[in-house]
Every structure is written in C-alpha cells, then in structure tokens.
Amino acid sequence: MNAQTVRKTLVAACMALAIALGISSLLLFVHIHGNHTFASNNHGIAIYLPGRQHNIFLALQFGAYATFLIGFLLNRRWRVFADPLEEFMGKRRDKILRNNEDG
C-alpha cells in the first residue's frame, strides 16, 4: 500500500467514525428523551440521567466532533478528497478574469 492509499483510508475512517458516533449520540438522545423524562409541574419536563449514561452521552458527542475535526484537518493537509467544486470554481474564476481583461 502506498502512502496516498493509507491517507485516504485514514481520512475516510475518521469521517465514517464521526458519522457513526453522531448517529449513536442521536439515538441515545431519543432513548433518553423517551425513557427518562419526568413532568415538571406545568413548566415542561425534566430529564434525569444516571452518571454513567450522562458520561456515555458526552463521550459520544465529543468523539463525534473530535473525529470529524481530525478527519477534516487531515483532509485539508493531505488533500486526499479534493473539493468537487474546486476545478469548476477555478475555471469560472479564470473566465471572469478573462472577461474583465477584455472589457
């Protein structure tokens, strides 16, 4: 395996892990909201979480943000997944510059 393949795999794995952690966090939130809510007079609801579930919820959220940020920064550094509009925007910019020079 060459370095480019390893880099692409690492960035894709970071992004996939971030998506999986984000979805897990969302599903845990739905579970918590459905099972741990208590009426609070007539002012809405209160959500009670045991310490362990609260820590898991926070870890999932932090992990999703952190792995997405790592994958994003590695992609910016290595340019393994280029911006799909980059080539289009470059051509568009060149066309605009050419039109401005003519006029």
pLDDT at 86: 65
pTM, rounded to two decimals: 0.74
Residues in the chain: 103
pLDDT of residue 92: 72
How confident is residue 40, by pLDDT bands cut at 50, 70 and 90?
confident
At residue 88, the pLDDT reads: 64
Domain ranges of the chain: 3-102
3-class secondary structure, 47: strand
- In the chain, the N- to C-terminal Cα span, in Å, equals 51
- Whole-number pLDDT of residue 46: 83
Neighbouring-strand partners of residue 39: 45
Three-state secondary-structure class, residue 22: helix
State the pLDDT at residue 50. 86
pLDDT band at 103 (very low <50, low <70, confident <90, very high): low
Name the CA radius of gyration of the chain, rounded.
23
Q: Is the pLDDT of residue 48 over 70?
A: yes
Alpha-carbon span 20 to 17, nearest angstrom: 5
Q: Which residues contact 20 (CB under 8 A, 6 or more apart)?
A: none
Give which of 74, 60, 54 is closest to 6, Cα–Cα. 74
